[in-house]
Amino acid sequence: MLSFKRIDNTIQSLLIISCFIFTFIGGELYFLAGYFVVGGWQLLSFFIHYCRRREFIASENRSFYRQTISFIIPIGLGLSLLAWLIPAVAFVLFLYCIMLSVTTPFVAGWYLAICIKETKELLALSKNQQATP
């Protein structure tokens, strides 16, 4: 799991940095594309971590992150369904999407910080186990 976590941290960092660089070079379209690429990678990482949660030390922040994601995604899906059924709800969905476009870059940074912290803890535990005969 340590190898996966190192690769995951590297990919997340590169994607976030690339997203910022391409946004400044190319504009909003690159931000939007990067938004979905980074978000998609982090959701994949989140689900892999969730399925393999017994193989690493999960921080308390990961549990809070899980609760946050478990709150954000169903609301978005529910609003999407309601907007499809009741067109007047589309404005509420629009406001929700605006709110997400502002807050989720911070959530992405938060998730990366959680992953880095867990990797450091796993590395320290691995070194302690190797040092102990």
Q: Please compute the mean of the pLDDT values over residues 6-24 and round it to a whole number.
A: 92
Residue 22 lies in domain: 2-131
What integer pLDDT is reported at residue 30 of this predicted model?
A: 82
**pLDDT of 94-103, one tens digit each?**
999 999 988 9
**pLDDT of 72-127, one tens digit each?**
999 999 999 999 999 888 999 999 999 998 898 899 999 999 999 999 988 888 88
Report whether 23 contacts 36 (CB < 8 A): no
- Structural domain count of the chain: 1
> Is residue 18 over pLDDT 80?
yes
> Is residue 70 over pLDDT 80?
yes
CA–CA distance, 119 with 63 (Å, rounded to integer): 16
pTM of the model: 0.85
